[in-house]
């Protein structure tokens, strides 16, 4: 019985969620399965992967073949690296302690990159919101200025009382 680790679709139209399952390769996509080991939500950024790593590792070591998408997810979670290191331990290339130390180092680096990406995305989201608020404030100020100008009467040019009129004869003082 060839066993596969694959995705089973659920969720509504255009908002798919997937279960990561262990199933016989001859069973239909959403049909019978042996075990459910996790879920996958591609709708979030970064994609949410909830996986029972120990069970996935056990099945991979027992010979279950992951599909391409699930293989990428297992690599992302470190199951494939753990498998690689365990095969090295079984062959005698490294000790179990060395393999565990390498895996923990990789896992810490990976968690740092993931949290960095989440923080970056959150910062970008706040920056976009701040820029949108500033743009709205500028538009609001422009509108209030336009309303203020409309409400104040225009300043009419007052006749110049200080300057003599052009058609009035100039009177000169001829007394000397």
pLDDT score of 17: 94
Whether residues 87 and 111 share a domain: the answer is no
Whether residues 20 and 58 share a domain: the answer is yes
Q: Which residues make Cβ contacts (< 8 Å) with residue 77, sequence separation at least 6?
A: 49, 51, 53, 56
What is the CATH number for 41? 3.30.1320.10
173 within a domain of the structure (yes/no)? no
Residue 133 carries which DSSP code?
Answer: H
59 within a domain of the structure (yes/no)? yes
Alpha-carbon gap, residue 78 to 74, rounded angstroms = 6
Whether residues 87 and 125 share a domain: the answer is no
Respond yes or no on whether the N-terminal peptide bond of residue 106 is cis (omega within 30° of 0): no
Whether residues 42 and 82 share a domain: the answer is yes
Alpha-carbon gap, residue 166 to 4, rounded angstroms = 103
Whether residues 38 and 85 share a domain: the answer is yes
163 within a domain of the structure (yes/no)? no
57 within a domain of the structure (yes/no)? yes
160 within a domain of the structure (yes/no)? no
A 10 A CB-CB count for 19 gives 17
pLDDT beneath 50, residues of the chain? none
pLDDT score of 160: 55
Whether residues 80 and 61 share a domain: the answer is yes
Whether residues 83 and 69 share a domain: the answer is yes
pLDDT score of 146: 87
Q: Is 79 helix (H, G, I), strand (E, B) or coil?
A: helix
Whether residues 79 and 109 share a domain: the answer is no
Domain count, the chain: 2
The residue segments making up the domain with residue 128 are 95-146
Whether residues 102 and 89 share a domain: the answer is no
pLDDT score of 29: 81
Pick the closest to residue 6 from 14, 16, 17, 18 (CA basis). Answer: 18
User: What does the pLDDT look like over 112-137, one tens digit per residue?
Assistant: 998 998 899 999 999 999 999 999 99
Tokens describing residue 70: 């699930």
Whether residues 81 and 13 share a domain: the answer is yes
Whether residues 89 and 104 share a domain: the answer is no
Please identify which residue in the block is written with the tokens 């679709």: 9
Whether residues 29 and 8 share a domain: the answer is yes
């Amino acid at each position: 019985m060839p066993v596969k680790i694959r995705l089973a679709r659920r969720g509504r139209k255009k908002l798919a969620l997937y279960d990561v399952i262990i199933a016989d390769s001859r069973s239909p996509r959403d049909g019978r399965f042996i075990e459910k080991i996790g879920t996958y939500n591609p709708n979030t950024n970064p994609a949410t992967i909830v996986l029972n790593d120990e069970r996935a590792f056990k099945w991979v070591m027992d010979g279950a073949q992951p599909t391409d998408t699930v293989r990428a997810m297992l690599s992302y979670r470190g199951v494939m690296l753990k498998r690689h290191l365990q095969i090295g331990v079984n062959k005698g290339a490294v000790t179990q302690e060395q393999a565990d130390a390498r895996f923990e180092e990789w896992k810490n680096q990976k968690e740092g990159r993931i949290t960095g990406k989440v923080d970056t995305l959150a910062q970008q989201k706040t920056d976009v919101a701040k820029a949108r608020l500033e743009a709205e404030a500028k538009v609001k100020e422009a509108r209030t200025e336009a309303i203020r100008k409309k409400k104040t009467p225009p300043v009419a040019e007052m006749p110049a009382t200080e300057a003599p009129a052009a058609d009035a004869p100039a009177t000169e003082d001829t007394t000397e």
